[in-house]
Copies of this chain bind each other. A is one copy, B any other.
Amino acid sequence: MSLRVLDYLVARLKELGVLHVFGIPGDYVLPVYDALLEKGISIVTTCDEEGAGFAADAYARIRGMGAVCVTYCVGGLKVANTTAGAYAEKSPVLVLSGAPGMKEREKNSLLHHKVRDFDTQRRVFEELTVACTLLSEPERAPQEVDRVLTQALRYKRPVYIELPRDTSFAPLPSSTPFPPPPLVVKEPSDPEALEEALEEAVTLLTSAQKPCLLADVEIHRFGLQQELEEFALQVEIPVAATLLGKSVIAETHPYYMGVYEGALGRPEVREYVESSDCLLMLGVFMTDINLGIYTAQLDPARCIYATSERLSIRYHRYENVTLEDFLRGLLKRTQGWKAPRREFPRPPGELSLGEARDRVTVRSLFGRLNRYLTDETVVIADVGDALFGAADLLVHQRTEFLGSAYYASLGFAVPGALGAQLANARLRPLVLVGDGAFQMTGMELSTIARWGLDPIVLLLDNQGYGTERQIRQGPYNELLPWNYWKVPDVLGTGRAFLVETNEQLESALQESFAVRGTFSLIQVRLNPEDRSPALARLAERLAAQQ
């Protein structure tokens, strides 16, 4: 059989490690599904496209690239929000949309699923991605595919490819090398700028009395965890992580201090970071939640701020210096040097476990969970106290904490577990989700069950929107109190527990961690007014801004 345009795209997806694609069938996309299946890429049909979008985002965070494949408009527009989240938090997700053929469009007729005109969906995704293409001509398709995928890898942000059904099955231009040579993404730094920046940074660091590192999510996205850990060990500088970047450094690392989040975090970490005379910020997102709703007091005059998009030292800026080259350069040029010895805060050890027969509290829940985490656990936290309370969990490995900590879109965690475990079968997801978020996307446990995955889902049931309740009371914060533990009866599979006391929680956790091959759902009935100390502080700040 001769090669088709779609074969080129599929070859690229496999090169980038995409072995699962998430979506829902629809007539514009069915032939694409068959083409993917033929080449050994699995189609994961979710309950709703929203679940597909969140799953692909988690998949991308772990494997470096993820994809949804959806039908035109009724499928594509359902992943607008999840794509926006991937954009905001730098996760390279490919949105692949089936579409009417170019010939059909010429008639400009009202084909089903069309909104305003044939370009509506593409224009929406131009706002939500770093690169878009409509494969309107078979001749230009290979270069367009490469252009768009390269941007995804360069910026770690989502991209969009629209596949008209006539051109995607047209013959691949005969001049196209197949299989294609590997994609090249690297944009090297400007050597002079790099040299000058490194020299300045090393001078500042090595003359500092109290240098400090603050690491965030880009370290993970650009695969620099190893370099970060080595660097901290070599120069003996303590490291804090942001909430969004929790786990970019192993939390068992000897120089790890804990999470920094301005006034919302632990005061001793805040004090250390803010009083540093040379703060090296690596891949940090300057976001409101990350920075404790602007309570962070970081003096630019004492900061070196390196990200994938800019490098600033004090009040000036270097162009064309990549995060990767900068960190590698620091590692090389500081060999033999060590920072002055100084006491620094250590991550919290065991949290309070509560009494066995007492009601579970947010605090005792996280305290007990902490003892179950292993190197194979990936913690996936949904928005709310599931996320804020998780800040002090001790995460063992480097890549093992996923959450929508900046974009803060409810409903990420359960479908995120689907994506995470398919991305890396060695991982076992521990999902932390509130009841509000579970009502949005929790039924994706159905898809999880179909694929034989076995996440453990801790459902923090406080009967309503707990975070909003902290800001403002109102009837709109209340939810119908589901018997979540009966969800396995509906699905015909899975295990569930309803727990109210610490000893019930303990036995549910033991059983869940002991059994493999099926999901466990643990509904934890909390006092609706209970909350983590972090949420209490956050809510106070947010309420003050209303």
Binding site for B on A (CB under 8 A): 23-27, 30-31, 33-34, 37, 43, 45, 47-48, 50, 73-74, 77-78, 80-81, 84-85, 87-88, 109-116, 120, 123-124, 127-128, 165, 285-290, 294, 406-411, 436, 439-441, 443, 446-447, 449-450, 465, 467-468, 471-472, 474-484, 486-487, 489-493, 542, 545-546
B114, B406, B409, B439: the one contacting A88 at CB < 8 Å is B114
Select the residue from A80, A441, A471 with max chain B CB neighbours within 10 A: A80
B33, B287, B441: the one contacting A112 at CB < 8 Å is B287
Smallest Cβ-Cβ distance to A406: which chain B residue: B112
A30, B472: Cβ atoms under 8 Å? yes
A447, B127: Cβ atoms under 8 Å? no
Q: Give every chain B residue within 8 A of A491 (Cβ-Cβ).
A: 480, 482-483
B74, A85: Cβ atoms under 8 Å? yes
Do A47 and B490 contact each other (CB < 8 Å), given the known contacts A87-B116, A111-B288? no
Smallest Cβ-Cβ distance to A289: which chain B residue: B112
A406, B110: Cβ atoms under 8 Å? yes
* Minimum C-beta distance from A242 to chain B (A): 12
Q: Give every chain B residue within 8 A of A408 (Cβ-Cβ).
A: 74, 112-113
Do A492 and B487 contact each other (CB < 8 Å), given the known contacts A73-B407, A127-B115? no
B77, A73: Cβ atoms under 8 Å? no
Smallest Cβ-Cβ distance to A546: which chain B residue: B31
B77, A288: Cβ atoms under 8 Å? no
Smallest Cβ-Cβ distance to A119: which chain B residue: B127
B120, B439, B450: the one contacting A446 at CB < 8 Å is B439
B127, A286: Cβ atoms under 8 Å? no
Q: Give every chain B residue within 8 A of A490 (Cβ-Cβ).
A: 482-484, 486-487, 489-490
B288, A27: Cβ atoms under 8 Å? no
Q: Give every chain B residue within 8 A of A43 (Cβ-Cβ).
A: 474-476
CA A97 to CA B23, docked complex, whole Å: 28
CA A443 to CA B484, docked complex, whole Å: 12
* Minimum C-beta distance from A173 to chain B (A): 23
A542, B27: Cβ atoms under 8 Å? yes
CA A68 to CA B541, docked complex, whole Å: 27
* Minimum C-beta distance from A392 to chain B (A): 21
B74, A409: Cβ atoms under 8 Å? yes
CA A128 to CA B492, docked complex, whole Å: 39
Q: Give every chain B residue within 8 A of A109 (Cβ-Cβ).
A: 286-288, 294
Q: Give every chain B residue within 8 A of A88 (Cβ-Cβ).
A: 114-116
B81, B288, B477, B481: the one contacting A73 at CB < 8 Å is B81
Known: A120-B128, A450-B479. 14 other contacts (CB 8 A): A25-B477, A27-B546, A30-B468, A33-B474, A34-B472, A45-B476, A45-B478, A47-B440, A112-B406, A124-B128, A165-B545, A439-B446, A443-B443, A489-B490
Select the residue from A34, A124, A411, A471 with max chain B CB neighbours within 10 A: A124
Smallest Cβ-Cβ distance to A78: which chain B residue: B81
CA A26 to CA B27, docked complex, whole Å: 36
B27, A468: Cβ atoms under 8 Å? yes
Closest 9 pairs (CB-CB, A-B): A77-B81, A110-B287, A80-B80, A48-B440, A47-B439, A74-B409, A84-B115, A25-B468, A43-B476
CA A33 to CA B472, docked complex, whole Å: 10
A120, B127: Cβ atoms under 8 Å? yes
* Minimum C-beta distance from A170 to chain B (A): 14
Select the residue from A30, A411, A449, A472 with max chain B CB neighbours within 10 A: A30
Jot down 21 A-B pairs with beta carbons below 8 A, ordered by A.
A24-B465, A25-B468, A30-B546, A37-B474, A43-B475, A45-B476, A50-B50, A73-B407, A74-B407, A77-B80, A109-B286, A109-B288, A109-B294, A110-B406, A111-B288, A112-B287, A443-B443, A480-B491, A480-B492, A484-B490, A486-B489
Smallest Cβ-Cβ distance to A88: which chain B residue: B115
CA A356 to CA B195, docked complex, whole Å: 85
Q: Give every chain B residue within 8 A of A33 (Cβ-Cβ).
A: 474, 476
Do A441 and B48 contact each other (CB < 8 Å), given the known contacts A88-B115, A407-B73? yes
Smallest Cβ-Cβ distance to A481: which chain B residue: B492
Q: Give every chain B residue within 8 A of A26 (Cβ-Cβ).
A: 468
Select the residue from A88, A407, A441 with max chain B CB neighbours within 10 A: A88
B486, A439: Cβ atoms under 8 Å? no
Q: Give every chain B residue within 8 A of A471 (Cβ-Cβ).
A: 27, 30
Smallest Cβ-Cβ distance to A115: which chain B residue: B84
CA A505 to CA B285, docked complex, whole Å: 58
B113, A407: Cβ atoms under 8 Å? yes
B110, B440, B446, B482: the one contacting A480 at CB < 8 Å is B446
* Minimum C-beta distance from A77 to chain B (A): 4
Smallest Cβ-Cβ distance to A477: which chain B residue: B25
